[in-house]
Structure 1
Amino acid sequence: MPVSPRTRPAKAALSREAVVAAALDVVDEVGFEAASMRRVATALETGPASLYVYVADRRELMAAAHDLALADVEVPTAGDWRARLELLVTRTVAALAAHNDLATAAIAAVPLGPHFLRLNEEMLRLLREGGVDDAACAWAIDLLVQYIASAALEQAAWNRAQRETRATEEAMGADFVGRLDAVYAGLDPAAFPTITALRGLLTAGGGDERDAWKLRVIVDGLLAQSRTPG
């Protein structure tokens, strides 16, 4: 039977929560740049003008979607301050990487949503617990947020490639290393002596191992900057 206005299921009432959730779904589907107000409105079966009742503009909507992606990040409770900080950062990266290139929103604007602020508060608290002085904490959080955004974008790109190729993690890693090594092998040692000397090391180590090392170096640097000379 044909569907009439009387038999068609009623659309759910619009709300800010529904609009933001729809925006997150659209980013998952088409990516950050393509997630326009029109696309979100279409997903909600309404017009773009209806969205402006709940958000001022696309920038606010993307910021809210970014914050929603962090809603379920759990704050670690076990381990010393450093272990908890590194785990919290890792969890935050994973939460953002699960939503395509949504982490771009944190590069375009400073995140200020309630879920981000909850995580921000915990990172700052852990830094102070670890002995990082207040002046260093204020800039350290900028560094950590930048690391989180870049790491999430890298992981999201890897996730997309894996979905598109349907390759295993091991196969993708081997292919990536093989392509890098092929480039390095073709370089003129006279023009690129350092790359040639470090060729084996430049392609060694898995992604998780490298990510852990990068984060460890960041925290080590923060501690070094906070030590009182003498």
Structure 2
Amino acid sequence: MTAKREPISRRERPAKPALTRRGIVDAAVRVMRSEGLEKVTMRRLAQELDTGPASLYVYVANTAELHAAVLDALLGEVELPADEPGADWRDQLVAVLTSYAHLLFEHPQLARSALVARPSGENYLNLVERLLLLLSRSGTPQAQVAWGVDNLLQYATATAAEHGTQERDPMSRDDWDALARAVYGADEAVHPMIKAHLPDLLSGTESGRLAWGFDVVINGIIHTPVPGAEG
């Protein structure tokens, strides 16, 4: 007589962690770091989180909002040095902006997205708060400071989107060489201004041009009143 075999119960599937906006954004950052921003879609995140895409929309309205949340999460890596009222406000301001730009250099796809994204999380607010504080120490009128921060972020973001993409494009070196040949080979009779401004037109390092550009924008903010604003 064969002994009756005791039935083996199937193990229940472990319960999945509850969905949260923070968990979704963290998953999006992981996907972006490993696969690129173009893979950060609702469908891909649903796969990562073992759920259906529709369930994600309860926490994130659309892909644009998701990308903005990813940007805000990464903004936590921007260096915001301790506030030192006695320190040079311009040096501190440029240091924060440079840290922001270098963060986007590392993620060129995110830099392009940041040109139109509207982050609204705590890290973005911390960045804007610090920029406003430092720029206001120049004695510039409040309206110019308020408008100026947007210009500073736009310049840093656009620069990162351009150069970050070029650094990762295998054809960018060839494109640069072609531009240099065209500029130096330009007919002086047709393009006298190009010839007159060589070699400065193509000179300088990326970091040098970035710092100079920040100074240009800062000087413009300080010396350009906002239309209709009181002094």
TM-score, normalising length: structure 2: 0.79
The equivalent residue for 2:149 is: 141
Identity percentage of aligned residues: 39
For 1:85, which of 80, 93, 99 is the aligned residue? 93
The equivalent residue for 1:72 is: 77
Tell me: CA distance 1:203–1:91, structure 2 relative to 1, closer, same or farther (3 Å): same
The equivalent residue for 2:59 is: 54
Per the alignment, in what secondary structure is the counterpart of residue 70 of structure 1? Answer: helix
For the pair 1:37 / 2:42, whether they are aligned, the reply is yes
Tell me: CA distance 1:59–1:206, structure 2 relative to 1, closer, same or farther (3 Å): same
Gaps of 5+ in 1: 166-171
C-alpha displacement of 1:50:
2.3
One-letter identity of the residue aligned with 1:211:
L
The equivalent residue for 1:169 is: none
One-letter identity of the residue aligned with 1:98:
E
For the pair 1:14 / 2:35, whether they are aligned, the reply is no
C-alpha displacement of 1:176:
6.4
Gaps of 5+ in 2: 1-9, 226-231
What are the within-5 Å matches in structure 2 for residues 192-207 of structure 1? 192-207=191-206
Cα distance in structure 2, aligned partners of 1:118 and 1:215: 20
Per the alignment, in what secondary structure is the counterpart of residue 131 of structure 1? Answer: coil
Cα distance in structure 1, aligned partners of 2:59 and 2:20: 7
What are the within-5 Å matches in structure 2 for residues 96-135 of structure 1? 96-135=104-143
- Kept in 2, the 8 Å contact 1:31–1:100? The answer is no
One-letter identity of the residue aligned with 1:129:
R
Q: How big is the alpha-carbon RMSD for the aligned residues of Structure 1 and Structure 2?
A: 2.7
C-alpha displacement of 1:216:
1.1
TM-score, normalising length: structure 1: 0.80
- Kept in 1, the 8 Å contact 2:152–2:218? The answer is no
Per the alignment, in what secondary structure is the counterpart of residue 54 of structure 1? Answer: coil
The equivalent residue for 1:184 is: 183
Tell me: CA distance 1:209–1:7, structure 2 relative to 1, closer, same or farther (3 Å): farther
C-alpha displacement of 1:34:
5.0
- Kept in 2, the 8 Å contact 1:93–1:148? The answer is yes
Cα distance in structure 1, aligned partners of 2:194 and 2:12: 68
Cα distance in structure 1, aligned partners of 2:12 and 2:183: 65
Tell me: CA distance 1:37–1:111, structure 2 relative to 1, closer, same or farther (3 Å): same
One-letter identity of the residue aligned with 2:154:
Q
Per the alignment, in what secondary structure is the counterpart of residue 81 of structure 2? Answer: coil
Tell me: CA distance 1:12–1:152, structure 2 relative to 1, closer, same or farther (3 Å): farther
Per the alignment, in what secondary structure is the counterpart of residue 60 of structure 2? Answer: coil
C-alpha displacement of 1:10:
6.9
